[in-house]
Chains A and B, each alone.
Chain A
Amino acid sequence: MKTLNFRLVLFAFALIFGIVFSIPTLTQSESGKKITLGLDLQGGLHMLLGIKDEIAIESRTKSIAASVKYLFDDEEIIFDDLRIAGPGRVTFELLDEDDVAKAKALLKKEIPGTVLAEDGLKFTLSMTPEEMARTKANAIKQAVDTIRNRLNEFGLAEPTVAKQGEDKILVEVPGIKTQADEQRIRELIARTAHLQLMAVDEDRAARVMSMSASEAKSYGDVILPDVYNEHEKYLLRSIPVLDGSMLTDAKVGFDQNNQPVINFTLNGQGAKIFGDFTAKAVGKRMAVVLDNKVYSAPVIRERIGGGHVQISGNFKLSEAHDLAIALRSGALLAPVYVMEKRSVGPSLGADNIKASSMALALGFILVVVFMVLYYGMAGVIADVALIGNLFLILAIMSLFGATLTLPGMAGIVLTVGMAVDANVIINERIRELLHEGKSVAKAIEEGYNKAFTAILDANVTTLIAAVVLWAYGTGPLKGFALTMGIGILASMLTAIVGTHGIYQWLLPKIDRKRLGFWFGIKTEGGK
């Protein structure tokens, strides 16, 4: 027998490679790289989120206004009529002409990204267009980080949070067990967690129930509802004392009645602002506002130093836990909304796997049996290549840590159909050449030579379609294109090189008189 040829060795290596690297996936072992199942197969939540970036501008404007107030108070610059005039625009009036130069210098130094326009003693501080763009870009980046932090802290296995395109966020959370859990996760993501400490406008608070929103606005106030009772309203100064950006930690604790509460700590600057404010506002109320709802509005009894604040409410423990996570991971600069959402329950995922595995197995058996019946030993050889092809697909996908989706399964099924095509073309050529009376060795060599260009051209064109689909497709489509692409490339190795190697290896055994057994054709008195 002829010694081993390089094609056979190459095929053997590919086969070993395929088997070794697909073991972690097939046995689902803990270690080793393996294929992850797509959300449609294991169940989970897929969402594409958009972001309301105009809100980011709005809250940046508010915090600019808050800074102006703090800076002027701190430097004892007398001012009046500080209000938000529009997106990115804050107006105020100075009362003392002598303060103008000092105020200008102060704002320039302390609030970057803004320009100041003056009209007598009336001033307009506006964000520059670059600052606006930067704020928007920052909002999306921050949203991605924040949502990722929240999901990680929630303790979920491998959530994906990524920016998609310019202004979208892709969130994928596998392995959600129940609908209630899913809802909880959605709420956790959606929570803006915008914490504000706001002063109650005690001068006008008595009239709050009959006041309109526009009237409140004219005083520089805002009306916000109580979190538990929509009808109870508070009249608050619209520029907050401080907000959640100065928060360093938030933890669940319990009050004297053993009710869950959230304790949070402010950073140095926040603690100072909070201390200064409470010292000045003794006897007045201060509201703890979260996502524009008032959680509590206790009366300030004395100056509160140290920066420790508590939010109480009728929290359930799980609610307090999620809220603390949201506060700790920071507020979303802008709220997010759902553009696309797909959620698959675990039982449906299991059904999908069962159905597609069944189709894959059945299709595979069908092809394998057909090849043997039609081509005899040549069919067996093609089948060996086909099995090698399957292992190679699994191995390559495992190494890339690729995701197998339902359309991906369809891609594999389709590859099974197409991979044998190469062998059909080759076998038909060999048969033709044998009918012409060529020797077995010659028929095989020439058959492979002639079939090669056809197979190459056909595969390259299919590959073009797969690449386009991969580049333009989203989510599941990518999975389909990927498995098909890998399948085509792998089939070039197994179906062309692999089978050729096997023929060369078996050649001395192939008897011209037994073509029925070897190639499934009647011998016509061979040479």
Chain B
Amino acid sequence: MEIFRYKKPLELMKQSKRFGILSILLVSVSLVLIFAKGFNYGLDFAGGTLVQVHYDQKAPIKKVREAITKDKKYEGASVTYFGNDNEIIIRTKNSSGSLGKDMGDTMRQLLKGTGHFEVRRVDMVGAKVGSELREKGMMSLFLAILGILIYVSFRFEWRFAVASVLALVHDVTIAMGAVVLFNVEVNLDTLAALLTILGYSLNDTIIVFDRIREGIQTSKESALDRIINESVTQTLSRTTLTSLTTFFVVLTLFLFGGEIIKGFSFTLLVGIIVGTYSSIFVASPLLMWLGFSVKDFREKEAEKLKREKEKEKMRQMYEGGTL
């Protein structure tokens, strides 16, 4: 089977302005969402307590709400279904440092008489731990981007590094925007998903850049936009295929992986779509806009080659005993 087979390179760079505008639009909307609406921080980052209760039959959510508010402490508690009708989640902002009696124990007493149930999960995060986790999370995103920037600069050229990191920031921002838009709860696993998007989207971009680098060295073309067109077309089939397989795998995770992992897989799904788009339509034009010059690069490469040849010659002379 073969789906992508192009005799001629696609004229992608002609469209680059349109995609640029689309990207700027998406990033702006995401930023507005992030700053205006803000993240829906979950337990891990906001602190509080969460109790998951499983009923043998459909959970009597109304009765549960009534039962809970009997205790004044839990007045602000939210009760929602979780995944299916038998499962509910009770959330409060309270967190208690007491080891002896925790909220799970209290809930078991309060919910007596609402049916046959089992407390399956009690998670409590103190406010101090929450803010610590948030700081660490931010730090890890920053460090990952920095590490990638350094590596790509070292392997390619600084413009490649800047372009790929800009594309990364683009992807992560839009993924964050989607998280805010769909009111996905932000927990540690959401952070893991964002970091995975970082790695994944970069993966895609690097494959394309690798081709562009190769194209610069070997192509008959000398205009950057033509080389980019060639390279993107050549890698288009790989980019789409890999994205599709990964997309389907994450989709199965989203559909069948259970409720707990939904936030994680949703964020990844968005990230994969945006990451694929950006490595084709955003990263490469950025290279052009950053003023990358094929001529200079080739000259530098030629210089490097010459120097290496000279070294080789010197060594031969040295070994031959003529020096």
- Judged by a CB distance under 8 angstroms, whether A468 is at the interface is yes
Residues of A within 8 A of B2 (CB): 431, 520-522
Give the bracket for the number of chain A residues in contact with chain B.
35 or more
B124 touches A340 (CB 8 A): yes
A458 with B256: CB separation less than 8 A? no
Beta-carbon contact of B100 and A343 below 8 Å? no
Partner of A472, one of B125, B140, B151, B255: B140
Q: Which of B21-29, B204-212, B286-294 contacts A (4 or more CB under 8 A)?
A: B204-212
B256, A339: Cβ atoms under 8 Å?
A: no
The answer to whether residues A414 and B250 also contact, given A338-B99, A374-B241, A431-B2 and a CB cut-off of 8 A, is yes
**For the complex, would chain A's binding face be called helix, strand, loop or mixed by DSSP majority?**
helix
Does B119 lie within 8 Å of A363, measured CB to CB?
no
Q: Which residues from chain B contact A474 at a C-beta distance below 8 Å?
A: 133, 136, 188
B206 with A343: CB separation less than 8 A: no
Contact B249 A345 (CB under 8 A): no
| Whole-angstrom CA separation of A347 from B140 in the bound complex | 33
Please measure, in the bound complex, the distance between the C-alpha atom of A436 and the C-alpha atom of B323, giving whole angstroms: 46
Q: A183-B105, A425-B207 are in contact. Are A338 and B249 (CB under 8 A)?
A: no
Chain A contacts for B128, CB-based, 8 A: 50, 339
Interfacial residues of chain A within 132-172, with CB under 8 A of chain B in the complex: none
B222 within 8 Å of A by Cβ?
no
Contact among A50, A375, A461 with B148 in the assembled complex (CB-CB below 8 Å): A461
Interface residues of B in 122-158 (CB under 8 A from A): 122-126, 128-129, 133, 136-137, 139-140, 143-144, 147-148, 151-152, 155
Within 8 A of B (CB), among A398-436: 406-407, 410, 413-414, 416-418, 420-421, 424-425, 428, 431-432
* Structural contact, B147 and A464, CB atoms closer than 8 A: yes
Task: Scan residues 368-408 of chain A and give those whose CB is less than 8 A from a CB of chain B.
Answer: 370-371, 373-375, 406-407
* CB-contact partner of B265 in A351, A358, A410, under 8 A: A410
B136: contacting residue among A182, A472, A520, CB under 8 A: A472
CA distance A186 to B137 in the complex (A): 29
List residues of chain B with CB within 8 A of the CB of A421: 203, 242, 245-246
- A352 CB → nearest B CB, Å: 6
Smallest CB separation, A488 vs chain B (Å):
9
A315-359: which have CB < 8 Å to B? Answer: 336-345, 347-348, 351-352, 355-356, 358-359
On chain A, the residues within 8 Å of B268 by CB distance are 414
- Interface residues in A26-77 (C-beta closer than 8 Å to B): 40, 47-50
Q: Are A417 and B250 in contact (CB under 8 A)?
A: yes
Q: Write the nearest CB–CB distance from B145 to chain A, whole angstroms.
A: 9
Are B99 and A468 interface neighbours, CB within 8 A? no
Contact yes or no, B261 A406, CB < 8 A:
yes
Does chain A have a CB within 8 A of B257? yes
Question: Residue on B with the closest CB to A352?
Answer: B258
Partner of B144, one of A190, A424, A465: A465
List of B residues within 8 angstroms of A336 by Cβ: 99
Residues of B within 8 A of A407 (CB): 189, 192, 261, 264
Whether B310 sits at the interface, judged by CB under 8 Å, is no
The segment out of B57-65, B66-74, B193-201 that lies at the interface is B193-201
Q: Are A359 and B252 in contact (CB under 8 A)?
A: yes
Stretch in contact with the other chain, from A199-207, A294-302, A306-314, A476-484: A476-484
Q: Which residue of A lies closest to B122 (CB)?
A: A343
Q: In the complex, A338→B47 CA distance in Å?
A: 12
Contact for A465 among B119, B123, B129, B196, CB less than 8 A: B196
B121 at the binding interface (Cβ < 8 Å): yes
Tell whether, in the assembled complex, residue B264 and residue A186 are in contact, meaning their CB atoms are under 8 Å apart.
no
Q: Which of B25-72 contact A (CB under 8 A)?
A: 52, 54
A450 to B210, CA, bound (A): 10
A residues in contact with B1, CB < 8 Å:
373-375, 520
CA distance A414 to B119 in the complex (A): 31
Note all chain B residues with C-beta closer than 8 A to A82. Answer: none
Tell me if A457 is interfacial: C-beta within 8 Å of chain B.
yes
- One of A351, A359, A457 near B155 (C-beta < 8 A): A457
Which residues of A lie under 8 Å from residue B144 when comparing CB positions?
Answer: 464-465, 468-469
One of A337, A428, A454 near B206 (C-beta < 8 A): A454
A-B contact pairs, 8 of them (CB 8 A): A186-B102, A356-B253, A371-B245, A407-B192, A424-B241, A424-B245, A464-B151, A472-B140
